[in-house]
C-alpha cells in the first residue's frame, strides 16, 4: 500500500496510532484539513475528548469531507472516535456539544463504564475481527458503552456479553484503545480492510 493512512490529528491520541501503524509498515499522514484527507487509504479517528473533537471537526471544516470519505474508504474510530462515528448518543443532557457523524449504526453512552478513575484493562474477545482465539488486552479509559446495535452492525469485539467493538462494512468502531498495547491485531485488521477497498 502506498497511499497513507490518515490520522485525524485535531486532538487526542493520534500519535500512538501513528506508532502502531508505522510498526506495521504503513505510511501515515496527520490530517487537520480537507486537503490532507484527500488521497488517504483509510482514516483513524482517535480517542480523546468527543466534545472538543466535535468543535474542532467543525472549525476545520472536516465534518463533510470525513462523512464523504467514510462512504468510500475504511475508517477506524476508537473510544471518542467511536462516539464520533456512532449514529446515536443515548445519555446526554442537552448542551454537551457532541455531534456524532452518524455513520455507524449503533447507540453509545458516553463514559458508560464510569469516570476516569474507573478506567480499566480487560481481556476481550476479538475473534470475529481476525479469527484469532487469543484474547486482546483492551484498555478502557472513560470509555463509551455500546448500548444498541442496528442490523447492519456486526459485533467484532466482546467483553463478557457486551459488545465493545462493531463493524459495519468498512467502518470499525471500538470502545477501547488498541493503540496503547503492543498487540497490533486491530491495526493489522484495519490495514487489511484498507488494502481490500
Ligand atoms: N470520555 C471521552 C469522551 O466522551 C472519551 C474518552 C476516550 O477517548 N478515552 O469523549
pLDDT by residue, tens only, the chain of 197 residues: 589 999 999 999 999 999 999 999 999 999 999 999 999 999 999 999 999 999 999 999 999 999 999 999 999 999 999 999 999 998 766 667 899 999 999 999 999 998 777 789 999 999 999 999 999 999 999 999 999 999 999 999 999 999 999 999 999 999 999 999 999 999 999 999 999 87
Active-site residue among 28, 36, 177, 187? 177
pLDDT at 92: 61
* Cα-to-centroid distance, 2 and ligand 1 (Å): 31
Alpha-carbon distances, residue 122 vs 23, 49, 158, 164, 178 (angstroms): 23, 21, 11, 11, 12
pLDDT at 114: 82
Distance CA(77)–CA(69), nearest Å, equals 14
pTM across the whole model = 0.96
Alpha-carbon distances, residue 11 vs 8, 32, 58 (angstroms): 8, 10, 13
pLDDT at 115: 76
pLDDT at 125: 97
Q: Environment class of residue 3 by beta-carbon count within 10 Å: exposed (0-12), middle (13-18) or buried (19+)? A: middle
pLDDT at 106: 97
Distance CA(182)–CA(41), nearest Å, equals 23
Active-site residue among 28, 79, 106, 194? 79
Contact 8, 48 (CB under 8 A): no
pLDDT at 1: 56
* Cα-to-centroid distance, 37 and ligand 1 (Å): 23
- Of the candidates 83, 108, 116, 88, which has an alpha carbon nearest to the alpha carbon of residue 11? 83
Q: Is 61 a catalytic residue?
A: no
* Cα-to-centroid distance, 36 and ligand 1 (Å): 24
Distance CA(157)–CA(191), nearest Å, equals 17
3-state percent breakdown (helix, strand, coil) of the chain, nearest 5: 30, 30, 40
Sketch out the chain's domains with CATH numbers.
5-196 (3.40.50.880)
pLDDT at 119: 87
Distance CA(2)–CA(28), nearest Å, equals 10
Amino acid at each position: 500500500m502506498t497511499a497513507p493512512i490518515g490520522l485525524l490529528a485535531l486532538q487526542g491520541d493520534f500519535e500512538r496510532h501513528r506508532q502502531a501503524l508505522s510498526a506495521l509498515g504503513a505510511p501515515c499522514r496527520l490530517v487537520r484539513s480537507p486537503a490532507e484527507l484527500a488521497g488517504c487509504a483509510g482514516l483513524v479517528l482517535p480517542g480523546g475528548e468527543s466534545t472538543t473533537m466535535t468543535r474542532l471537526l467543525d472549525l476545520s471544516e472536516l465534518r463533510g469531507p470525513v462523512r464523504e470519505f467514510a462512504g468510500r474508504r475504511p475508517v477506524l474510530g476508537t473510544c471518542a472516535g467511536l462516539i464520533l462515528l456512532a449514529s446515536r448518543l443515548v445519555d446526554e443532557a442537552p448542551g454537551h456539544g457532541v455531534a456524532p457523524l452518524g455513520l455507524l449504526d449503533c447507540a453509545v453512552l458516553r463514559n458508560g463504564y464510569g469516570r476516569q478513575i474507573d478506567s480499566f484493562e480487560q481481556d476481550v474477545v476479538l475473534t470475529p475481527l481476525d479469527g484469532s482465539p487469543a484474547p486482546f488486552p483492551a484498555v478502557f479509559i472513560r470509555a463509551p458503552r455500546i448500548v444498541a446495535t442496528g442490523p447492519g452492525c456486526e459485533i467484532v469485539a466482546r467483553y463478557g456479553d457486551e459488545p465493545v467493538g462493531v463493524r459495519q462494512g468498512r467502518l470499525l468502531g471500538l470502545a477501547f484503545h488498541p493503540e496503547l498495547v503492543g498487540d497490533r491485531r486491530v491495526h493489522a485488521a484495519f490495514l487489511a480492510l484498507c488494502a481490500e477497498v
